[in-house]
């Protein structure tokens, strides 16, 4: 059962092709890392897949009507916008929007999902505080909690770990990994190759709008490929059964 199917999805901005025709399929239980240099088209690909960007080709999510799509997938955008000083709990509760009837109060299931999401992202102690008063990292966690509260089978996140301290980076990726373990899936775009290597079950590497690699981290993150796509020399090793990647220097 596929959670997301893309067939020849292609995004054009003006005359420039931002995302080349891409065919991809995401099944349950996957934590897919979307990696690639800046401007490779990661955000555009995800937004087009969700139908937030006009695109040619087919996306199973974009084909759904809005309410169903909201139940099928959660989206965490890169711009961490919080317009009003609402309480953290209210913000996380917005994730339940697709499942609530208009004007209905929060159900027990809603409350459970909210509490669990806040606990996972370690923001439960901020529940009553206005979200705008938190630090950048704390706000990021709150927004991730919102996406988790949505309890959708598929979660797409655009650089969720950016700006978080190491502990919370690990916690964030750990939360997504737990989702995968439960049979749900997540597509997460990352710049930190170490995190990608450590947590993702599958990596999709984009370069200039084209998918250049798709597979387990060990296969995708080779020194050769990193040199070619990123232009960097890196240290690759194995520790405790986990892949360790550390960029070292620019390729001359």
Q: What residue ranges bind other proteins (CB under 8 A)?
A: 47, 50, 52, 66-67, 69-71, 73-77, 79, 81-87, 90-91, 94-95, 97-98, 102-103, 128, 130, 143, 146, 150
Q: How far is the CB of 34 from other proteins (least distance, A)?
A: 17
CB of 182 to other proteins, least distance (A): 21
Residue 86 vs 244, nearer CB to other proteins? 86
Pick the closer one to other proteins by CB: 102 or 183: 102
Instruction: Report the nearest approach of other proteins to the CB of residue 42 (Å).
Output: 15
Which of 76, 117 has the CB closer to other proteins?
76
Task: Kindly state the smallest distance separating residue 98's Cβ from other proteins, in Å.
Answer: 5
Least CB distance from residue 66 to other proteins, whole Å? 5
CA distance 177 to 185: 8
In this structure, are strands 31-35 and 202-207 parallel, antiparallel, or unpaired? parallel
Is 115 within 8 Å of 109 (Cβ atoms)?
no
What's CA 182's distance to the chain center, in Å? 17
Q: In the complex with other proteins, which residue's Cβ is closer, 148 or 243?
A: 148
Q: Taking Cα atoms as reference points, which of 172, 163, 211, 178 lies closest to residue 195?
A: 172
Which residue lies nearer to other proteins by CB, 66 or 248?
Answer: 66
């Amino acid at each position: 059962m596929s959670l997301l199917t893309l067939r020849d999805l292609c995004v054009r901005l003006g005359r420039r092709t931002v995302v080349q025709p891409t065919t991809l399929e995401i099944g349950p239980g996957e934590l897919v890392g979307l990696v690639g240099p800046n401007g490779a088209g990661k955000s555009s690909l995800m937004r087009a897949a969700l139908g937030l960007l006009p695109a040619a080709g087919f996306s199973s999510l974009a084909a759904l009507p809005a309410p169903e799509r909201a139940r099928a997938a959660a989206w965490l955008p890169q711009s961490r916008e919080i317009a009003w000083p609402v309480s953290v709990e209210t913000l996380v509760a917005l994730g339940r929007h697709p499942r609530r009837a208009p004007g209905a109060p929060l159900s027990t299931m809603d409350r459970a999902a909210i509490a669990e999401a806040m606990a996972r992202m370690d923001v439960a102690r901020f529940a009553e505080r206005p979200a705008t008063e938190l630090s950048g990292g704390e706000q990021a966690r709150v927004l991730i909690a919102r996406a988790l509260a949505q309890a959708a089978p598929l979660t797409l996140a655009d650089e969720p770990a950016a700006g978080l301290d190491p502990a919370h980076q690990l916690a964030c990726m750990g939360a997504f990994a737990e989702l995968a373990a439960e049979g749900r899936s997540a597509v997460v775009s990352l710049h930190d190759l170490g995190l990608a290597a450590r947590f993702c079950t599958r990596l999709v590497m984009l370069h200039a709008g084209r998918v250049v690699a798709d597979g387990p981290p060990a296969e995708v993150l080779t020194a050769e490929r990193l040199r070619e796509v990123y232009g960097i020399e890196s240290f690759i090793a194995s520790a405790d059964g986990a892949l360790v990647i550390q960029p070292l220097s620019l390729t001359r």
